[in-house]
Every structure is written in structure tokens, then in C-alpha cells.
Amino acid sequence: MIATLALLLGLRFGAPGVVVVTGPAGEVRVPVRSGPAGAPMVPASQLVAALDGSVTTDGVWAEVVVARQPFRFLVGAPLYIFSSQLQTLAAPVWLTRDTLYLPLQFVAEIIPYYLGERYRYDPRRGRLEDLGRRAAPASNVARLPNGLRPGHIVTIDPGHGGVDPGNPGTYFPRGVREKDVTLQVGLLLRDELKRRGVGVRMTRTTDSLIALGDRGGYCTAACDLFVSLHVNSLARRRGYTQIRGFETYFLAEARTEDAARVARMENDAVRFETGESQGPMTGGLDFILKDLQLNEHLRESARVAELVQKNLKVVHTGDDRGVKQAGFMVLTTARRPAILVEMGYSTNPQDGRFLTSRKSQRSMASAIAEAIVEYLREYERKTGAADSGGSR
Ligand SMILES: [Zn+2]
């Protein structure tokens, strides 16, 4: 009775009674039934047979391979892993009487999203169209709709947090500090990147403190890029509220006094970790310069910084203050290309409003995400050129 009701509800919300998989092998009809949670489900074995894929399970994990791409599902949970990224499902994967059921979402959304080059889904007719393997593809790696290979991971580091509020946010609404704005934009950036098929690791998703030296550790071998988000501010002096705008840093020795000042300010967060001020960064620069020699990602970092700055210019109402270099401690520990974005000045009234408006936070997140995708595409082209030379 409950199952029937759920099925009816499913139908009412557009779930078909069968999905038809069409492809070189003709048409295969895969039944859709309602799962325990009421969501429409498809039997995995019949689905992969129609897709010329495979499914194996040990009762805990189920691996479904489609177009040579493995999707790993956690049985009984609404979770799956693709390209090393844990993702959520609309309903739990369901194992009953030796039959494994996957949410219809896998057919309707996930396959067309990740394997869009090969599969298209028509929700009106409940049809998944297999366009077949393209003749002599440039690469046999499936690509996302935006041209990227799946599997990229970007670490987002919302600056400050917990007992370290960052700058006090002179022109932010009452009670809002730098750490709040960096987290808000960081979470939006995460969503924007995920929507573009880029995996994301966050150094924090809540109001918590992470040691500066540890933040970079979130971006090691399997990470493509480290992005730290901050808000700038100036000390009180004549005309200090006039300065506004955004700037993007990559790691290097500070070129200007202002860049050195910003680095000192952000590095100063170290004192929250021990509870006492360590004063100016004595010895810190040596450490940074030594690290710099080990950091072979300078050119990449500078390129991302340039793209981020270019895209922010389109959406930001403040001044384009350019790409800069400075010795940020948070960047030295990242073993991959790394940038730090100062998204505006909280000591300027217009920037203060801009940085705390949801709408402009969204447009900044989207602009940064686009820049990152552009960078990753360039990087793939550069490294991919070498690949295809060898495989030909
Ligand atoms: Zn900061």
C-alpha cells in the first residue's frame, strides 16, 4: 500500500514506469520501481547490461562501471564516489534479495552529467540515449560539458575562523567579521565549482580555527590548486576609508611595501594558535624564501591569480588592484599552485556593502570558479599535449 502510494507519487512527479536505453545495441527497457524511501529506483544489473557496463558488489560497496568510468556506491546510503569525490544521491542505494537498485537519478542526472559526451537523457520520454563511442576521440577520458576532465580537486581555504575573527569589518553589518565573509564566499565557491564538475576540499566549513601552517596541508598530491579567501583592511590614517578594491596574490617575496603589509597582517593570525603574539615575522621570511625554492608552481600560481583578477574585474564594483606577490605563510605549505584572494576592503563603505551582499558574494564565487575552470583547462591542454604525443 505504502509502496503503491509512493509509486503513484513518483509518477506524479514525473518518474517514468520504465526507462528506455537506446543505443547501438537497439532499445532496452529497464523497469523503474519505488524504493523504501519512495524514490524511483532502477535495477543496476539490467541498467548496466543495457549500457554495456558492469556491476559488482561486496555487500558494502557496489561498483558500477559505465563507459569505463567507475562509480562506487555505498550500499544502503545515499552516497557515491566518482573521481575520488564523495557525492550525495537523492535516495539510498538499495539491496534487496540480491538485486541492487540505484536511484533513477543516476540515469536521469549523474550519467548525463559526467558522461555527457556519450549519454543524453530525455526526461519527458524517460529515454537515455547512448550516442556511442565517438570515432577516434582525441582522448578516451570522458570530459565534462565544460571540456574539463573529471577528477580535479581544488582546496578552498576561507581565511581565519573560530577565535581568530580576521579583521573586524569596520563597514560590515554589526557583528559580521572577516571570518564570516570568507566562509560565506568559500561555501558559495564550493557550490560553483561542484556545479562545474570540479571536486572541492574545504579547510573549514564552520566557524573554526585551523592553524596557518596546517591549512596548506589540505592541498597535497591529489589537489590541483589551493585558494585562500580573505578581506583586506587598512589601519586608521588619513583617507584610509577611500581605498577599495580586490587583489590576488601568489606566493613570492613581497615586491611592494603594501604587499608586505598585507602578508604581515594575514600571517599575524599565527598568534591565535598559541594565544600570544609572536610579533613581527622574525625568521619567517627565511622560511618562506627557502620554501619558495621548493615551490615549482610559481608560474601556475601567477596564471591563476591573473585569471581570477580578470574575472573579478567584471563583477566587482571596486578597483582592480592587480596581481601581487607576497610571502603568505598559508601559501607556503601548499605543495601545489596556490593563490590568496583579498576580495575587498572592509574599511571602505562601498566594499563593505558589496562583500556582505549575498548577490555580490554569489557573483564573486561564480567569477572565481570560472577563472579556476579556465586555468584547469589551460593546464590540461599543456599537459595533455604531451600525453597525446605519446599515445599516438
Ligand atoms: Zn585575512
pLDDT tens for each residue of 244-289: 999 999 876 667 788 888 888 888 877 776 544 344 444 444 444 4
Q: Which residues surround ligand 1, an ion (CB under 5 A)?
A: 159, 166, 230, 266
Distance of CA 231 from the midpoint of ligand 1 (Å): 5
CA distances from 145 to 119, 200, 298, 366 (A): 11, 18, 29, 17
Is the pLDDT assigned to residue 389 strictly greater than 60?
A: no
Mean pLDDT across the stretch 130-149? 69
Q: What is the pLDDT of residue 342?
A: 96
Distance of CA 37 from the midpoint of ligand 1 (Å): 44
Distance of CA 118 from the midpoint of ligand 1 (Å): 44
The neighbouring-strand residues paired with 22 are 27, 129
Distance of CA 239 from the midpoint of ligand 1 (Å): 21
Distance of CA 232 from the midpoint of ligand 1 (Å): 6
Q: What is the pLDDT of residue 116?
A: 74
Extract the C-alpha cell encoding 178. Answer: 572577516
Helix (H) or strand (E) run with residue 193 in it: helix 178-195
Distance of CA 221 from the midpoint of ligand 1 (Å): 26
Distance of CA 156 from the midpoint of ligand 1 (Å): 14
Distance of CA 258 from the midpoint of ligand 1 (Å): 14
Distance of CA 247 from the midpoint of ligand 1 (Å): 12
Q: How far apart are CA 311 and CA 242, in angstroms?
A: 23
The strands making up 338-345's β-sheet, listed across from edge to edge, are 199-202, 153-158, 225-232, 338-345, 246-251, 320-326
Distance of CA 168 from the midpoint of ligand 1 (Å): 10
Distance of CA 267 from the midpoint of ligand 1 (Å): 8
Distance of CA 372 from the midpoint of ligand 1 (Å): 21
Mean pLDDT across the stretch 147-171? 93
Distance of CA 125 from the midpoint of ligand 1 (Å): 51
Dihedral sign, Cα of residue 249, residue 251, residue 252, residue 257: positive
Is the pLDDT assigned to residue 326 strictly greater than 60?
A: yes
Q: What is the dihedral of CA 179, 182, 188, 191, to 10 degrees?
A: -90
| 330: confidence class by pLDDT, cuts 50, 70, 90 | confident
Q: What is the pLDDT of residue 10?
A: 41
Q: What is the pLDDT of residue 3?
A: 43
Mean pLDDT across the stretch 122-142? 70
Dihedral sign, Cα of residue 33, residue 34, residue 35, residue 39: positive
Q: What is the pLDDT of residue 13?
A: 47
Distance of CA 321 from the midpoint of ligand 1 (Å): 17
Q: How far apart are CA 93 and CA 70, in angstroms?
A: 16
Distance of CA 224 from the midpoint of ligand 1 (Å): 22
| 37: confidence class by pLDDT, cuts 50, 70, 90 | confident
Distance of CA 339 from the midpoint of ligand 1 (Å): 13
| 205: confidence class by pLDDT, cuts 50, 70, 90 | very high
Closest CA to 333 of 188, 216, 252: 216
Distance of CA 7 from the midpoint of ligand 1 (Å): 52
DSSP state of 345: E
Is the CB of residue 116 less than 8 Å from the CB of residue 149?
A: no
Q: 10 Å Cβ neighbour count for 279?
A: 8
| 5: confidence class by pLDDT, cuts 50, 70, 90 | very low
Buried b (16+ CB within 10 A) or exposed e, 193-209: beebbbbbbbbbeeeee
Distance of CA 235 from the midpoint of ligand 1 (Å): 14
Dihedral sign, Cα of residue 359, residue 365, residue 369, residue 370: positive
